[in-house]
Amino acid sequence: MAMTITEKIIAAHAGRDSVAPGELVNAKVDIALGNDITAPVAIREFEKLDVKTVWDKHRVVLVPDHFVPNKDIQSAEQAKMLREFSRRHELVNYFELGRMGIEHCLLPEQGLVLPGDLIIGADSHTCTYGALGAFSTGVGSTDLAAAMALGEIWLKVPAAIKFVYSGELSPWVGGKDLILYTIGKIGVDGARYRSMEFTGPVIEGLEIDGRMTMANMAVEAGAKNGIIIPDDITKNYVTGRARREYDFLDSDPDANYEQIYDFDVTNLSPQVALPHLPENVKPVEEAGDISIDQAVIGSCTNGRISDLRQAASVLKGKKIDPRVRAIIFPGTQEIYRQAVKEGLVEIFIDAGAAVSTPTCGPCLGGHAGILGAGERAISTTNRNFVGRMGHPESEVYLSNPAVAAASAVAGRIIHPGEVA
C-alpha cells in the first residue's frame, strides 16, 4: 500500500504495516514534551495515575520557557513544579534557566528530535520538528500525562496535502514568507487536521532553519503536522547531534494526497500578515503606511542563528527609530553564544535594540515586551490574534527578520531593501 511519509511514521510506531487516513491508532512516542504552562496540568494528572514513575526518564522532556525568567509568583510556582517533578523522577532532559532555550529551537539543537520520530508535545508548535522528517504534533496536557506514563498516544491518521514550491527566491525572501504566503492562500483552517507536506525545488534548497520556520507555522493553517522529506541538508544537521538511531523515510511516488498545490514563488516579495489572523497576508509593499511601536525578532519561529544574521545584516551601521522598542530573543543559549562570537549582539546593541535571554516572552503576551492599548508591533513570531501580545486593542504584524529589522529602523513597516 502506497503511503506518505507521515503515514509511514505513524504505521511504524503503531506496529502496523500500513495505515490510512481516518484510522484511529495507538502509537509509541519517541519524545513527550511539556513546558511551564502545559506541564503543570500534566503533572497533576500524571500523579493521579497508578504508576510509580515516567515511562522513560530519557524521553520525557520538560522545558520551562514561556514565563522564564519567572515574571511573577504564579509563574515561579509553575516552574518549580517542573523542577521538583524532574528531580523526583530523575529526568535526564530537564532544562533549567541558563541551560534552557525556547523548546522548539532547543530540542533539535540538542539532537533530541530526529528524522522518523513520532513526537508529541503539549504545545501547538511542536509541529516544528517535521522540518527534520519527523511526525510531530501538539496535544493537550492530559494526553501528555498519559504519554509520560505509558509512552503511547492515541491519534487519528491525518489525510495529506502536498505543497510544491518551484522557482527562484528573491533577496530577503525565505521560509517565513513561503509559509505566510501559503496560509494566505489556503486560510487558517485550510489544512484542518491534515498533514502539510512541503516539497519541490525551493524546499530542497532551503536551509534547515527556514524549514523549521515553515513546519512551525503549519498549525496556523489548522494542520495536524507539517513535514519535509529528509535529505542531505537534514543529514548534515543531525550528524553529530543525534543521541540515538534515526530513520530517513519518504513518501511513495503514488501516495494519495487529498489536494496538491503548486506555487511558483519566483516573484514572491517578503510577506506581512496584518491583524488579526495569520491568513491576512499581503506583500510588504502593499501593507500600507503603518507606523510601529515595537519590533520583536526571535521566538520558536524565527529565533535561530540565520534569523539573527539576517536581522543584523539590516541593522549593521544603522540606528533604530527612537520611537520604536526593538527586542531580540535568541532561541537558545548556544544561538546566543554564536551571536556574541559573530558580533551580532554588538550590532544589535549599537543599533539600539535590547537583547534578551532565550524565552517565549512577548510572543504569547507573557512578559518582556507586552503591548499597551493602541500600540503596534511587527514581529517574527507566529500568531497575531486579538490580544496575542498584550492589550486587546493592540495590533501585531507578522514578518520575517529582515522586514522586522528594517521596520524598526524606519519606524514603519517597510521592505528591507529600502534601508539595507
**What pLDDT is stored for residue 217 in this prediction?**
97
**What pLDDT is stored for residue 47 in this prediction?**
94
**What pLDDT is stored for residue 323 in this prediction?**
97
| Mean pLDDT on 390-396 | 96
Share of the chain above pLDDT 70, in %: 100
Distances (CA, A) of 263 to 137, 253, 259, 266, 386: 25, 19, 13, 9, 30
Task: Look at residues 397, 370, 389, 393 and name the one whose alpha carbon lies nearest to residue 286.
Answer: 397
Q: Give the model confidence (pLDDT) of 303-320 as tens digits.
A: 999 999 999 999 999 999
User: Domain boundaries in the chain?
Assistant: 5-262, 272-418
Q: Is the pLDDT of residue 420 over 80?
A: no
- Whether the domain at 5-262 and the domain at 272-418 fall into the same CATH topology: yes
| Mean pLDDT on 386-412 | 96
Q: Give the model confidence (pLDDT) of 233-258 as tens digits.
A: 999 999 999 999 999 999 999 999 99
**What pLDDT is stored for residue 188 in this prediction?**
96
Asked if residues 305 and 273 have their Cβ atoms less than 8 Å apart, the reply is no
Q: Is the pLDDT of residue 341 over 90?
A: yes
Of the CATH numbers 3.20.20.140, 3.40.50.1360, 3.30.499.10, 3.40.50.970, which one belongs to the domain with range 5-262?
A: 3.30.499.10
Q: Give the model confidence (pLDDT) of 90-145 as tens digits.
A: 999 999 999 999 999 999 999 999 999 999 999 999 999 999 999 999 999 999 99
CATH match of 272-418 with 3.30.499.10: yes
Facing residues of 273 across strands?
281, 398
Facing residues of 28 across strands?
152
Using pLDDT thresholds of 50, 70 and 90, give the confidence band for residue 1. Answer: confident
Reported pTM = 0.95
**What pLDDT is stored for residue 192 in this prediction?**
96
| Mean pLDDT on 40-66 | 96
Q: Give the model confidence (pLDDT) of 164-221 as tens digits.
A: 999 999 999 999 999 999 999 999 999 999 999 999 999 999 999 999 999 999 999 9
Share of the chain above pLDDT 90, in %: 96
- C-alpha R_g of the chain: 20
